[in-house]
């Protein structure tokens, strides 16, 4: 199932999305821009992501945007 970026944002927030396709209940492969992201679960026309939210947020980075600008990193302590 090809996802528009807006749908990916909703799934990252934990929302279920209606899917109006002739697909049986069960697991489906979710893609973005033709690239596989992971699995979704379709039950009675509602799509639920099975991808951890932390991984979905990674895919929400806009093309050309650097990950460091989108996420906060904690300062690392030196290893001894």
pLDDT tens digit sequence for 18-51: 988 888 999 999 998 888 989 999 999 999 999 8
Give this prediction's pTM.
Answer: 0.67
Burial 28-38 (b: 16+ CB within 10 A, else e): bebebeeeebe
pLDDT attached to residue 9: 85
Among 11-20, 43-52, 71-80, the least confident range: 71-80
The mean per-residue pLDDT over the stretch 54-73 comes to 55
Q: Is residue 62's pLDDT more than 80?
A: no
């Amino acid at each position: 199932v090809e996802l528009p970026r807006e749908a990916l944002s909703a799934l990252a927030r934990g929302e279920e999305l209606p899917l109006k396709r002739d697909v049986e209940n069960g697991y489906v492969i979710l893609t973005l821009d033709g690239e596989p992201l992971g699995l979704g679960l379709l039950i009675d026309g509602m799509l639920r992501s099975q991808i951890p939210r932390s991984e979905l947020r990674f895919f929400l980075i806009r093309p050309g945007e650097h990950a460091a600008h989108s996420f906060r990193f904690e300062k690392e302590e030196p290893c001894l």
